[in-house]
Amino acid sequence: MESDEFRKRGHGIVEWIARYYETVEQYPVKSRLAPGSVKNALPETAPAESESFDLFLRDFDEIIMPGITHWQSPNFFAYFPANSSPPSVLAEMLTSALGAQCMIWETSPAAAELEERMMEWLRDMTGLSPEFEGVIQDSASSATLVALITAREKVTQYRSNMEGLSGMGRMRVYASRQAHSSVEKGAGVSGIGRDNLVRIEVNDDYSIDTAALRKAMDTDISAGYIPCCVVATLGTTGTTAVDSLRAVGEICREKNIWLHVDGAMGGTALLLPEMRWMADGMEYVDSIVFNPHKWMFTNFDCSAYFVRDAAALIHTFEILPEYLKTRTRGMVNDYRDWGIPLGRRFRALKLWAVIRTYGVERLQAMIREHIRLAGMLAGLIEAEKNFFLMAPVPLTTVCFRYKPEGISEEDANRLNEQITHTLNDGGRIYLTHTKIDGIYILRMVTSQTNVSEKHVLQAWEMIKECASALSSKYGAVDIY
């Protein structure tokens, strides 16, 4: 593609993006395509000869767009968000234009130093102690894996990387029953073993039961296991439960065990002084991850991983082949030593663009508003007959259920499942569910970049109407 055509196409695509953002609410939020339909619309073989870029754009509109779920729609209330924002998109264009591999300082000093500074900004914005050093990882899953491997190395005196795990004893990792699946994946991938992840019972608010944690650890120690790491969660995926870092941390300190905090979603709330109660006990924490690519308006991928003992992290991951030896070693951060991949994208640029464009105060205001909207929705649910709040709402996830009088638990499960599918198939909103102790729970997250009170109120009206319409099928009394 020649420069002139690139310029013309580039302007066109920016125009496309602007229009998309202006009209995103008009798309069905959840893609309605049947399995296989996109693949079947694509040629089985690659084109032998050059095609016009027009054809690519045409097929993007006709084949790809119908198969997209619109995560940037303010009516997206599903999962946790994957927020983008205009400054993030623009910076990402520059990153892809530069195409720099930011594996070591020398391969782009600006990328390494901007990343170092951005992690300091984020550390201070979230009130973390200056003892923490940060690095951008591709995902919270990777960051948690990195934490588990570092903890494993520490507990084996840095021998397991060299010698392998046989003969290292049977290590244990602890997390609550509500912890994210990435903890189990990490326990497996790190060689500790999924069977050696001990799932701890939770309290009524779904936070980790620390008495049970202590008991599980003591039982393991007397049986000859080696406790290696505890993963506490700030904002579990199901209900955004918040584990007590102080209570967990005291146990970890006493037994000299690595404490990693998975704050993938909830960590962003630490930008707000009024949410810093979640950080009580942070002095016990060895590492923490949160995702600006979820709730800080920075498009995927961008996970902020902070570690207190950066030397332990580097000791675990550094490897120095001849071709990567430099004259600046030790004077600068070579981030390939701070995680698993060698090659790294220049992800700090979009973070810089987002933080500067919004400013800390505007970011705080948006996050605070999202939390207010969740509280407002929770209040509406509590005030409504036959709707029940199923978990506390410390952040922006509202878990609830519709159960008209006189229907069984099983029928209520089926009814709520049907409500979810009916609403999502309708295309005007998208929400997802969780299941706790066999109970099907609707789950609505009010954290999309552009969500406003109007969107939440509209969604709530739709939910009530849908529930009422469907409940008649179950012989329940219509509440309207």
Residue 419 binds ligand PLP, judged by CB under 6 A? no
213 or 302: CB nearest ligand PLP: 302
**Taking the complex as a whole, how short is the minimal distance between the CB of residue 85 and ligand PLP, in angstroms?**
18
Question: Hey, what are 167's tokens?
Answer: 């003969």
Selection from 263, 265, 183, 267 nearest residue 228 by Cα = 183
Question: Hey, what are 109's tokens?
Answer: 């000093």
71 or 105: CB nearest ligand PLP: 71
Three-state DSSP class for residue 478: coil
CA gap 66, 83 in Å, rounded: 20
Among 27, 80, 132, 338, binds ligand PLP (CB under 6 A): 80
Selection from 422, 423, 418, 429 nearest residue 69 by Cα = 429
Residue 178 binds ligand PLP, judged by CB under 6 A? no
Taking phi over 0 as left and psi of -120 to 50 as alpha, with beta for the rest, 412 belongs to alpha
CA gap 275, 268 in Å, rounded: 10
Residue 182 binds ligand PLP, judged by CB under 6 A? yes
Q: 45-78 as b/e, with b when 16 or more CB fall inside 10 Å?
A: eeeeeeeeeeeeeeeeeebeeeebbbbbbbbbbb
Tokens 């084109």, residue?
Answer: 47
Among 154, 172, 180, 464, binds ligand PLP (CB under 6 A): 180
Site string for ligand PLP, 279-308 (x = CB under 6 A): ------------x-----------x-----
* Cβ(238)–Cβ(434) below 8 Å: yes
Pick the piece of the chain touching ligand PLP (CB under 6 A) from 3-11, 139-147, 330-338, 443-451.
139-147
**Taking the complex as a whole, how short is the minimal distance between the CB of residue 42 and ligand PLP, in angstroms?**
27
**Taking the complex as a whole, how short is the minimal distance between the CB of residue 268 and ligand PLP, in angstroms?**
11
Residue 391 binds ligand PLP, judged by CB under 6 A? no
306 or 387: CB nearest ligand PLP: 306
* Cβ(409)–Cβ(439) below 8 Å: yes
Question: Hey, what are 469's tokens?
Answer: 């319409």
198 or 288: CB nearest ligand PLP: 288
**Taking the complex as a whole, how short is the minimal distance between the CB of residue 180 and ligand PLP, in angstroms?**
3
* Total residues in contact with ligand PLP, by rule CB under 6 A: 14
Pick the piece of the chain touching ligand PLP (CB under 6 A) from 145-153, 258-266, 274-282, 385-393.
258-266
Longest Cα–Cα distance of the chain, Å, equals 77
CA gap 13, 370 in Å, rounded: 30
Residue 262 binds ligand PLP, judged by CB under 6 A? yes
Among 83, 237, 333, 471, binds ligand PLP (CB under 6 A): 237
Which are the contacts of 416, defined by CB distance < 8 A and separation ≥ 6?
401, 402, 433, 440, 441, 442
Among 233, 298, 396, 447, binds ligand PLP (CB under 6 A): 233
Residue 264 binds ligand PLP, judged by CB under 6 A? yes
72 or 108: CB nearest ligand PLP: 72
Residue 265 binds ligand PLP, judged by CB under 6 A? yes
Residue 139 binds ligand PLP, judged by CB under 6 A? yes
Give me the residues that bind ligand PLP (CB under 6 A), please: 80, 139-141, 180, 182, 233, 236-237, 262, 264-265, 291, 303
